[in-house]
Amino acid sequence: MPYGPHAADDRSRMLQTIGVDSVDRLFDDIPEALRSGPLKLDPPEPELELSARLQALAARNRTDLVSFLGAGAYRHWTPAVVDQMLLRGEWYTAYTPYQPEVSQGTLQSIYEYQSLLAELTRMDVVSASHYDGGAATAEAALMTCRATGRDRILVGRGVHPHYRQTLETYAEGAGLGVDEVPLVASGPLAGTTDLAALALLLADAEHPVAGVVAAQPNILGLLEDMPQIGRLAHDAGALFVSVIEPVSLAVLAPPGDYGADIAAGEGQSLGIPLQYGGPYLGIVACSDALIRQIPGRLVGLTKDLEGKRAFVMTMRAREQDIRRERAASNICTNQALLALAASIYISTVGPHGLRDVAAMGASRAAELEAALAAAGAPRLHAGAYLNEFAVHVPNARAVFKRLLARGVLAGIPAADLLPDEPAVADALLVCATEVTTHADITTFATALAAELAGGAA
Amino acid sequence: MVPGDLRYTSDHEWVRVEGDEVVVGITQFAADQLGDVVFVELPAVGKALKAHVTFGVVESVKAVSDLFAPIGGEVVGANDALTASPELVNSDPYGAGWMLRLRPSDAAEISALLDAAAYEQVVAEG
Amino acid sequence: MSVVGERLQPTIFELSRPGRGGGKIPHPPANALDRIPAAARRAEAPALPELSEPEVVRHYVNLSALNYSVDSGFYPLGSCTMKFNPKLNEWAARLPGFAGLHPMAPDETAQGTLAMLHELEAILAEVSGMDAVTLQPAAGAHGELTGILMIRAYHRSRGDVERTEVLVPDSSHGTNPATASMAGFKTITIPSAPDGGVDLAAFTAALGPKTAAIMITNPSTVGLFEARIGELLEATHAAGALAYMDGANLNAILGRFRPGAAGFDVMHFNTHKTFSTPHGGGGPGSGPVGVRPNLVPFLPSPRVVREDDGSFRLEREGERPSSIGRVRSFFGSTGVLVRAYAYLRAHGAAGLCEVSDDAVLAANYLKARLAPVYEVPFERACMHEFVASAADLKRRTGVRTLDIAKRLIDKGYHPPTIYFPHTVEEGMLIEPTETESIETLDAFADALIEIFHEAETDPELVTAAPHVAPVRRLDEATAARQPNLRWRGMTGAQTPCPD
């Protein structure tokens, strides 16, 4: 066993103390008929060979491409200090701070995370973290049902399709109804949430709505009229859930400023590697009025018996280990290590750095927009965007494949993401961030121009 | 130990008759068992309760317990002071730590409750 | 001896001074945001802390020193399997090919990760005796939800909509009943038998046409193998219900018992318990779920598919309509799964068997060392963990299990899990894991025995513990009554950018 502790005679000494002659005897409780034969797995692999295998597997992934892919996970520069700190065993080999006297590091780091995200979102309460953006959005939607006693959720089609699908899976289990709010198909507001349709859905007195879920920016990168969506929700007695992207909040209005009752979202862009989908950081924040409804761990500030400031997991009696079948959620594990990464990231880049990240993405995106338009792929929508947008490309899937062969990961064919939106059938959804270079943009635009010219010929 | 002028349930709630209404709370024994009470969830005024069904929840630092209606009736008052000061349940369970005011739907249910001696017996038997 | 550093730290907000930091991100043109409508813009910059990098480093290094961790000492936290976290795994997860792969990357650019995931599914299927595995769930409880939703979909697919109940033993993890509620089921709690195992008669009596599933932790939460599991599974299936196994305690039975082969229909793995992925101060976890053939159609989407040409791809949108759908964004916590994969390959068949043998050996050794002093409610051989009780000590001295736990901190140890499961009075659930040496186990046993004697001779010493931790016992009541969940006096961003 590669990490075993035993010297030559340790096991026999231990068996002697126990008073049995073989380890097999300790498994006597397993009924004979149910005992397993030998596992059909490879023999143990020495570290030298295993490291080569792992390296070879990793090398088969193509992370060398010029990439414009976003759609809910974002390429960002992470200062080296973040991972250096995360590599300390004191962080990653500790567990849930059940014993606060020997867990003040983790507890204070979570309190600081809650505080940083509360400031960024301008919300009162932030949970110690959830699994990811999809699960966080689903939990936020369930909160609105518990708080209002209603059982119908409206989710905008501008919300990431994975989040919508996750919400539907959760809602199905909980016996809740989910209706989707369509996007405007054409005109100056194309691609944003159809507010008239939303008002109509909210007006159904037979089926009162618990919560309205909308994203800013939305899945097509467009900026929504969040204050108006919030007003419509509140006028119908529903709560308003804003699905946020935290880096954007350095420059975009925070949900607390436009009346959101709950903010949910994906915190990956705060210093967390892409790593094919996780582990990421689910953000859930809410107003003080909803504090009893927020699921998952919370860390609070208190004192020890000598009056020293200290931190502790609090309001524990809401959680599954105490409330069991009456708990609001079954969540136990949080994403403490990723919340820590986010805190170190924010602390290192600071308020100015975070603004620069968001604004640099916007700047690169504008450059990308101009270059792609010049290459023959103009923007699909007229509305404002931050750093992600759709461009019109006929036969988008085929063009995307040919660009891939040229070493360009040209975002994502919008039809792959939103197969039920005919309005985006011929489009690529592309994204730029502070790591996108002028050279990347030129490479993409040149390749696209060549493909589009070839396609026309 | 247990006030003689109140009626009790085996779920450790007490009932005090005041005119045609009753006041409801939990006993000192229950409060001690829970430890430091940190949150009390009570029903809205106007809600109709049936006897023995849960009407709320009381939380301590590391436990949670259902509250059961000792008798049926309409909620005519809830102790709002417990929102800011749930510790009243520990410090003064029979006074400032009261929880509900009910208008009984069937006065006969009150006489079916335990008297102090019978309740002390329940506590003694664990 | 102190188990953690001496110094409490100011918050990062108190360390902030205007104008510190910078030098990380290039500045965009001044007009970069002019095209964003004013109404959508943030009116007031967020008041985030401003620190220099050296200050950030000291803050987080000094904070980390306030933690107890597996890397610093023995952490016998029952039910959590705090085994050593191999450093190779940390290295592997950070390889640029793994760490830099976008979750929406086209399949042809993700072949290394997809191949790894496909092989990991097969390894977990072999270990568990299940037919297929989903790697998507983000944690054990998330795996439970996935499993119970599949069971719900299975019954419904057969037109069997009357099954509304899930049976759990009273010793179960709280996540089991909470999961049943989330999936729309009513929980029926069944008391344990006096020997700590499932009460077969009580279960059989509760099973019926309304039972959708039973949820069993095996080995149980008191560290015992459920010797009557064969009969229980038979009775469950005879009633038309399915059997869910909470795999939290899988570390005891690798290569000895395969739940799928024994008749369980579905189970979850906790990679952060059994397969050494780091606990991370509370997460991330990962909770793969294995199923028998009857549940394969309902697995969440997308699955990894192997094509005839040997290449791999993710299932496409809507490719398998019987699926319960998505349970999260993207594929899964792949960064955690890389670590689990490395662990499984490092051990292979022989190594995994040895893991469980040594984990069970260590637990029984520690139990044998403590049994002359502490009450051990269940005498037969335990699995990878066992319960000791201080109920009698409490009656005689007033010293509770909580006090013993706090006193262990003074002696340089992380306390075991206490007061779980709730079925044992003043219980301590002790799980040493297979990566601890006999010297460590002996020293821990000596410390616990010493505390027992302290309780008899000087109880105040124990009830006032810890004495040498960075903080004493905390005022948890005020923390919950008047929650302070965020720092309010923040500064930052009020002065121009420092660089």
Over chain C (499 residues), what is each successive 10-residue block's mean pLDDT? 64 93 94 97 95 97 96 97 98 98 98 98 98 98 97 97 96 94 95 91 97 97 95 98 98 98 98 97 96 98 97 94 97 98 98 98 98 94 97 96 98 96 92 98 98 98 95 94 90 70
Contact C358, A1 (CB under 8 A): yes
Domain count across chain C = 2
Contact C431, C77 (CB under 8 A): yes
| Those residues with Cβ within 8 angstroms of residue C286's Cβ, 6 or more apart along the chain or in another chain | A279, C135, C137, C138, C139, C270, C271, C272, C277, C332, C333, C336, C337, C340
CA distance B114 to chain A (A): 29
Contact C360, C383 (CB under 8 A): yes
Residue C1: its pLDDT value, please? 36
Q: Please provide the CATH number assigned to the domain covering B7-120.
A: 2.40.50.100
Residue C490: its pLDDT value, please? 76
Residue A320: its pLDDT value, please? 87
Same-domain check for residues C92 and C22: no
Say yes or no for a CB contact (<8 Å) between A324 and C138: no
Residue numbers in A near C498 (CB within 8 A): 352
Same-domain check for residues C283 and C402: yes
Say yes or no for a CB contact (<8 Å) between B63 and A326: no
> How is chain A split into domains, by residue range?
66-76+350-456, 81-344
B38 touches chain C (CB under 8 A): yes
Find the domain containing C318 and state its range.
Answer: 83-469
B1 touches chain C (CB under 8 A): no
DSSP string, A117-182: HHHHHT-SEE-S-BS-HHHHHHHHHHHHHHHHS--EEEEETTS-HHHHHHHHHHHHHHT-EEEEEP
- Look up the CATH architecture of domain A66-76+350-456: Alpha-Beta Complex (3.90)
pLDDT tens-place string over residues A70-91: 999 999 999 999 999 999 999 9
pTM: 0.96
Give the integer Cα–Cα distance in Å for B34 and C365.
36
Residue numbers in B near C476 (CB within 8 A): 36, 61
Residue A456: its pLDDT value, please? 42
B42, B61, B67, B89: best mutation site toward chain A, by most A Cβ within 10 Å? Answer: B61
pLDDT beneath 70: ranges in chain A: 455-457
In angstroms, how far apart are the furthest CA atoms of chain C?
76
Taken in order B30, B34, B40, B43, is the CA torsion positive or negative? Answer: negative
Give the integer Cα–Cα distance in Å for B97 and B89.
4
Give the integer Cα–Cα distance in Å for B90 and B39.
12
Contact A404, A380 (CB under 8 A): no
**3-state SS of C9-55?**
CCCHHHHCCCCCCCCCCCCCCCCCCCCCCHHHECCCCCCCCCCCHHH
Residue C74: inside a domain = no
Residue entry with tokens 């209005």: A253
The one-character DSSP state at C191 is P
Q: Please provide the CATH number assigned to the domain covering A81-344.
A: 3.40.640.10
In angstroms, how far apart are the furthest CA atoms of chain B?
37
Q: Measured between CB atoms, which of A101, A105, A352 is closest to C493?
A: A352
Same-domain check for residues C416 and C486: no
How do A211-216 and A152-156 pair as beta strands? parallel
Calculate the alpha carbon distances from A126 to C27, C220, C230, C252 in Å. 30, 35, 46, 37
Q: Measured between CB atoms, which of A95, A162, A357 is closest to C82?
A: A95
Residue C195: inside a domain = yes
Query: In CATH terms, are A66-76+350-456 and A81-344 the same topology?
Result: no
> How is chain B split into domains, by residue range?
7-120
Nearest Cα neighbor of A43 from C349, C200, C187 is C349
B39 touches chain C (CB under 8 A): yes
CA distance A127 to chain B (A): 18
Averaged pLDDT for residues B94-110: 94
Say yes or no for a CB contact (<8 Å) between B64 and A315: no
Same-domain check for residues C10 and C148: no
Say yes or no for a CB contact (<8 Å) between B39 and C481: yes
List of E strands, A287-443 = 299-303, 309-313, 388-392, 408-409, 412-413, 427-431
Say yes or no for a CB contact (<8 Å) between C67 and A103: yes
Residue ranges of the alpha helices (H) in C184-228?
A: 200-206
Taken in order A297, A299, A302, A303, is the CA torsion positive or negative? Answer: positive
CB atoms within 10 A of CB A19: 9
Residue entry with tokens 């609105």: A144
Tell me which residues of chain C have a C-beta less than 8 Å from any C-beta of chain B.
419, 476-477, 480-481
A276 touches chain C (CB under 8 A): yes
For the question of an ipTM over 0.90, the answer is: yes
Say yes or no for a CB contact (<8 Å) between C278 and A126: no
Residue C6: its pLDDT value, please? 60
Q: Name chain B's partners: 3 or more CB pairs within 8 A.
A: A, C
DSSP string, A61-96: B---SEE---TT-------HHHHHHHT-HHHHT---
Residue numbers in A near B39 (CB within 8 A): 292, 315, 317
How do A66-67 and A408-409 pair as beta strands? parallel
Residue numbers in A near B57 (CB within 8 A): 326
Residue C417 is part of a domain; what is its CATH number? Answer: 3.40.640.10
Beta bridge partners of A114: none
Contact A179, A141 (CB under 8 A): no
B36, B58, B64: best mutation site toward chain A, by most A Cβ within 10 Å? Answer: B64
Residue numbers in C near B85 (CB within 8 A): 481
A253 touches chain C (CB under 8 A): yes
